[in-house]
Amino acid sequence: MSFSVGRLALIGVGLIGGSLARALREHGAVSHVVGCGRDAGNLHRALELGVIDEATHDPLEAVRGADMVVIAVTLGATGDIFARIAPGLGTDTIVTDVGSAKRCVIDAARAHLSQGCARFIAGHPIAGAEHSGVEAARADLYVRHRVILTPVTENLPAAHATVRRMWETTGADVYDMDADLHDEVLAATSHLPHLLAYALVNCLLDLDTPVNVFDFAAGGFRDFTRIASSNPAMWRDISMANRTALLAVCDRFEHTLAALRGAIEAGDDAAVEAGFGRAKAARDEFLRRRAAP
């Protein structure tokens, strides 16, 4: 079944929200996009690029008359946005989000939205880049990428199906997952890697050496730390919102790193190579599966 929406309200017009709007436009699936944000320059650029048709700084104004509302702001701002838009939501308006942690968002929707979670479908597109802002938005961002929806018992099946079709229209593969499981999985596969990238850069900044170590960093450093160029405020909010799951996987990582350090300290070259080999095989398989048609 195809997807189309008359009036889409986009609260947060950056990489994620802007790419969604571009994708829906490319497929003729949206008639009018209202963009809402605090940065006048970014909204003006979104208008110039044709990502949105109308701009406002007021979330309540943005959602009036909207058929679909997509919340694409930092996690720390989501609860306040819910509270501000609640009076303007129509009885049939569907609301979704793109946040990287889901339990906290569902709790905020239950607390602040006038319709509760009946028409709010929590979602998370597993796609992105280290660059942010509407300038980075592109229509193919979600093609062959996964989008996770975390439905709850209050959700209306029709609202869930509509949000699913919206993401499928962008070329994404859509999966349903329990919210707590989502937060555990993403803590391990996304939140921890960002934490490590930021920590490594800060570690090198604090090295006391007679030369600037960054002058001698090559491809390995560039590749490993690419995501340390991501938006610090966004990742602060993610780390705080999902801290229970993130701290648990941090403990597990520290245990794994300690075992590797112990093998190196003991001169156990076989254990070191075995650990490297196991990791290489797993990553090679990951890449193979991602490349499969």
Distance (Å, whole) CA 211 – CA 218: 15
According to the model, what pLDDT value does residue 131 have?
A: 65
Tell whether the model's pLDDT for residue 229 goes beyond 80: yes
Q: Are residues 187 and 281 in the same domain?
A: yes
Pairing of strands 123-125, 146-149: antiparallel
Task: Give the domain extent around 50.
Answer: 5-177
Instruction: Give the domain-ending residue among 145, 177, 209.
Output: 177
Q: Are residues 91 and 141 in the same domain?
A: yes
Of 110-124, 148-162, 240-254, least confident by mean pLDDT is: 110-124
Tell whether the model's pLDDT for residue 122 goes beyond 80: yes
Which ranges constitute the DSSP H helices of 50-123?
Answer: 59-63, 75-85, 103-112
Q: Are residues 205 and 131 in the same domain?
A: no
Predicted confidence (pLDDT) per residue in 241-264, tens digit: 999 999 999 999 999 999 999 999
Where residue 1 falls among pLDDT bands split at 50, 70, 90? low
CATH number at residue 88: 3.40.50.720
Are 122 and 109 a contacting pair, CB within 8 Å? yes
Distance (Å, whole) CA 80 – CA 108: 9
Q: Are residues 123 and 187 in the same domain?
A: no
Distance (Å, whole) CA 10 – CA 16: 10
Count the domains in the chain.
Answer: 2
- Nearest CA to 72 out of 50, 48, 92, 42 is that of 42
Predicted confidence (pLDDT) per residue in 10-69, tens digit: 999 999 999 999 999 999 999 999 999 999 999 999 999 999 999 999 999 999 999 999
Where residue 130 falls among pLDDT bands split at 50, 70, 90? low
Of 149-158, 208-217, 267-276, least confident by mean pLDDT is: 208-217
Return the amino acid letter for 51: V
Are 20 and 49 a contacting pair, CB within 8 Å? no
Which residues fall within 8 angstroms of residue 98, CB to CB, at 6 or more apart?
16, 17, 20, 70, 71, 72, 123, 124, 125
With 0-12 CB in 10 A as exposed, 13-18 as middle and 19+ as buried, what is 188? middle
Q: Are residues 91 and 132 in the same domain?
A: yes
What is the reported pTM?
Answer: 0.91
- Nearest CA to 104 out of 284, 212, 241, 232 is that of 241
Residue whose pair of structure tokens reads 């702001």 in the numeric block: 73
CATH number at residue 191: 1.10.3660.10
According to the model, what pLDDT value does residue 129 have?
A: 65
CB atoms within 10 A of CB 87: 10
Instruction: Give the domain-ending residue among 177, 210, 244.
Output: 177
